[in-house]
């Protein structure tokens, strides 16, 4: 029997015709993909053949099974979402716990290291007061290791080593003309360590005028350490006023903006040293060697530079007012723009030196050798005045 026959029975059957709005009473369609069939009335069921009735029942069962599967799947998805959320929260909690544990471990390790540094520092400082020189020397190198391990303690250690060096009092020479004694091994070690410990480079002078420098100054004023081995030492911004560094080895050392007022550097080796902006007022450098040294804008007013060797040195913009350069060797030196007012250059050697724009007001050039020198744009003296007292030739430029 067809579906149209089921929904519209013949008049001979005596069954009443279904209402016109039967379609409005149909069950709402299920969200499943299974075909939806309206619920038949009891009267319709009686008129449906058995095989068709079984077919309808089977379709109804499939619809119910599909609905149950949908609900079961939805519930399963909900439980899965809850499980995933719980897993994520557990993972996050585990990660947070791991980070907190790691940080706590790092804090404990930092505290332990700080404690070890403090113990090492205390022991080394105590050893500096030992009567045995070898113990004091070992303490100096122990402090160097601490300074390299702990940047925070480095300025303090520099101060301690500098203080030990300043308090050093060498035994006096037996005779007046005898050479000054060399520093003790512990003092020499302290100077070596101070010279090689890393320190910030000095700020440009223009910035220092506007902004106070925060660089830690190395205080070595009035130290008495002749014959010191300070080759390639970092003495930037150091205070060495009144120090005795006679016969010291300062080859390739850096003393940028250092204060060397009234320092004794007689016979010192300063070859290739960087003395930019250094203050050498009243300093004694007689007999010192400064070949290829950098003395740009250095202040050497009233300095004793007798017989000093300054060949190939850079003295551009240097202030040498009233300096004693008697017999000094300045061959190939660059004195561009230097202030030599009142300086004594008697018998000085200035072969092929560059004195362009230098101020030679009241400068004594008696016997000075200016062969090949460049004297263009000099101030304070005419070419004739120079020729009358100094040795010049056709290669001398005016």
Q: Residue 259 CA to chain centroid, in angstroms?
A: 25
* Domain of residue 96, residue span: 32-105
Across the chain, mean pLDDT equals: 84
Furthest-apart CA atoms within the chain: distance in Å: 158
On whether residue 66 sits in a domain, the answer given is: yes
On whether residue 88 sits in a domain, the answer given is: yes
- pLDDT, one tens digit per residue, over 344-398 is 999 999 999 999 999 999 999 999 999 999 999 999 999 999 999 999 999 999 9
Taking residue 167's Cβ as centre, other Cβ atoms within 10 Å add up to 9
214: pLDDT confidence band, cut at 50, 70 and 90?
very low
| Nearest partner of 303 among 319, 289, 291, judged by Cα | 319
Per-residue pLDDT, averaged over 316-326, amounts to 98
On whether residue 36 sits in a domain, the answer given is: yes
- pLDDT, one tens digit per residue, over 49-82 is 777 777 777 787 888 888 888 888 887 888 888 8
On whether residue 58 sits in a domain, the answer given is: yes
User: In DSSP terms, which residues pair with 324 in a beta bridge?
Assistant: 304, 344
Q: How much is the pLDDT for 190?
A: 92
Q: Enumerate residues 6+ apart whose C-beta is below 8 A from 352.
A: 331, 332, 371, 372, 373
Taking residue 388's Cβ as centre, other Cβ atoms within 10 Å add up to 12
Q: Tokens in use for 298?
A: 């250095």
Per-residue pLDDT, averaged over 260-270, amounts to 98
Q: How much is the pLDDT for 19?
A: 47
Domain count, the chain: 1
**Stretch among 21-25, 196-200, 215-219, 243-247 having the lowest mean pLDDT:** 21-25
On whether residue 101 sits in a domain, the answer given is: yes
Q: Tokens in use for 276?
A: 């930019």
On whether residue 82 sits in a domain, the answer given is: yes
318 vs 94: CA distance, rounded Å? 68
Between 325 and 31, whose confidence is greater?
A: 325
Percent of the chain whose predicted confidence (pLDDT) is above 90? 54
On whether residue 301 sits in a domain, the answer given is: no
16: pLDDT confidence band, cut at 50, 70 and 90?
very low
On whether the CB atoms of residues 350 and 375 are closer than 8 A, the answer is no
3-state secondary structure 80-133: HHHHHHHHHHHHHHHHHHHHHHHHHHHHHHHHHHHHHHHHHHHHHHHHHCCCCH
On whether residue 267 sits in a domain, the answer given is: no
CA dihedral sign of residues 289, 291, 296, 301: positive
Q: Phi, psi at residue 318, to the nearest 5°? A: -70, 150
């Amino acid at each position: 029997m067809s579906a149209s026959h089921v929904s519209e029975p013949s008049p001979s059957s005596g069954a009443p015709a279904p209402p016109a709005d039967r379609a409005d009473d149909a069950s709402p369609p299920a969200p499943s993909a299974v075909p939806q069939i309206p619920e038949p009335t009891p009267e319709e069921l009686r008129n449906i053949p058995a095989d068709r009735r079984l077919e309808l029942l089977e379709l109804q069962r499939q619809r119910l099974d599909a609905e149950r599967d949908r609900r079961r799947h939805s519930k399963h998805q909900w439980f899965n979402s809850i499980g995933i959320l719980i897993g994520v929260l557990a993972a996050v909690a585990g990660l947070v716990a791991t980070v907190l544990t790691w940080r706590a471990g790092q804090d404990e390790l930092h505290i332990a290291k700080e404690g070890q540094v403090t113990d090492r520092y205390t022991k080394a400082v105590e050893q500096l007061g030992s009567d045995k020189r070898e113990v004091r020397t070992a303490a100096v190198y122990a402090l160097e290791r601490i300074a390299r391990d702990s940047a925070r303690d480095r300025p303090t250690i520099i101060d301690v080593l500098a203080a030990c060096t300043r308090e050093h009092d060498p035994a006096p020479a037996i005779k007046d003309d005898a050479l000054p004694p060399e520093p003790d091994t512990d003092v020499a070690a302290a100077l070596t360590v101070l010279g090689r410990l890393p320190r910030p480079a000095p700020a440009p002078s223009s910035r220092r005028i506007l902004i106070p420098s925060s660089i830690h100054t190395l205080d070595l004023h009035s130290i008495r350490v002749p014959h010191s081995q300070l080759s390639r030492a970092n003495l930037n911004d150091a205070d060495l006023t009144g120090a005795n560094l006679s016969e010291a080895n300062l080859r390739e050392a850096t003393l940028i903006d250092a204060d060397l007022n009234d320092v004794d550097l007689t016979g010192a080796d300063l070859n290739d040293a960087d003395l930019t902006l250094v203050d050498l007022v009243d300093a004694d450098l007689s007999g010192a060697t400064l070949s290829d040294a950098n003395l740009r804008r250095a202040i050497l007013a009233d300095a004793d530079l007798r017989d000093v060797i300054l060949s190939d040195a850079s003295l551009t913009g240097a202030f040498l007012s009233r300096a004693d350069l008697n017999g000094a060797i300045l061959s190939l030196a660059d004195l561009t723009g230097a202030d030599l007012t009142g300086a004594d250059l008697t018998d000085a050697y200035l072969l092929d030196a560059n004195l362009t724009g230098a101020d030679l007001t009241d400068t004594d050039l008696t016997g000075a050798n200016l062969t090949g020198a460049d004297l263009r744009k000099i101030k304070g003296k005419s070419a004739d005045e120079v020729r009358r007292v100094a040795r010049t030739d056709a290669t001398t430029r005016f």
